[in-house]
Amino acid sequence: MRRVAIVGYGALGALYGHAFSQVPETEIVFIADEKRAARLRQKPLVVNGSPFSYQIETPESAAGEVELMIFAVKYHHLPQALKDASSHVGPRTIFLSVMNGIDSEEMIGEAFGWEHNLYGVALGMDAVRIENRISYSTPGKLLFGRAKNEQDHDEDVRRFAELCDLASLAYEIPQDMLRSLWWKFMINVGINQVSAVVEAPYKLFQRRSHARGLMREAMAETILMAEGHGIDLHEQDIDAWEGVLRSLSPEGKTSMFQDVEAHRKTEVEMFAGKLLKMAERDGIDLPVNHVLFELIKAKEERYL
């Protein structure tokens, strides 16, 4: 892949931009509106202490279509990001979202079609961004593919897997990608939201604590909703997440905790907000996520 576009230059966008920039003859392009592009030019990205080579292009300065487009923006920025990215899209552009939640792929599919649209889950990284500097101890693992993956993967899946191999990024192509998507959603509903409320890094959740118990309760409500939508999640999936959690840096912070610390808008609408809308339609009560939603919105009211 000669041109790889990253839409969003937060912790995840910078991590993957840096990783793919190590692949010979691959040009990394960050797509941003003129205001964000100016900030990025003024303060270039530094990942784990090292600068890296990339281009910055605006919707008006597109230097041609890209072969791969990775969306790594905040949920509330996605509608505008889709418009900004359209000038870089060609008939064979592959799309991948590493965003949290369960509906960014649907929004990308509505904008650009489903033919080259892959599902994606970024798991196990502990990247932290402070201004233009991003640091992490592990890049984690990418899960990607179609909703259902056969043993013989299609061309788009194979091409992206080859790029990950060249970038030395760990990945997995699950047979049931929708289950993997909901599993990551369950994780974020728990760890992201509770860490934002208590304003604590991973170490609080790596030992027995009230926060860890609350995390599990929020995840259990997600499993309840998943079962009603034909997704095979169960309590053992929470235990599997705790195995991943123990491998993370104790001082690492979730993206939502980082948002609260920096007084930014959070993605609570994508987590508890999404669950509560689904629960209302289905006539189900989710008391833990209701309280988490109200607490996080109350935090936002202090500074937005």
> Is the model's pLDDT at 138 over the cut of 90?
no
For the chain, which residues make up each domain, given as ranges?
3-175, 178-303
Pairing of strands 3-7, 68-71: parallel
Looking at residue 264, what is its pLDDT?
95
Amino acid residing at 268: V
Topology of domain 178-303 in CATH is N-(1-d-carboxylethyl)-l-norvaline Dehydrogenase; domain 2 (1.10.1040)
> Is the model's pLDDT at 127 over the cut of 90?
no
CATH 3.40.50.720 for domain 3-175, yes or no, is yes
Each residue's pLDDT tens digit, 22-54? 999 999 999 999 999 999 999 999 999 999 999
Q: How confident is residue 96, by pLDDT bands cut at 50, 70 and 90?
A: very high
Looking at residue 120, what is its pLDDT?
97
Distance in Å from the first CA to the final CA of the chain: 41
Among 111, 113, 118, 109, which Cα is nearest to 159's? Answer: 118
Among 218, 193, 195, which Cα is nearest to 206's? Answer: 195
Looking at residue 299, what is its pLDDT?
97
Q: Do domains 3-175 and 178-303 have the same CATH topology?
A: no
* Token duo for residue 233: 């999640």
> Is the model's pLDDT at 158 over the cut of 90?
yes
> Is the model's pLDDT at 278 over the cut of 90?
yes
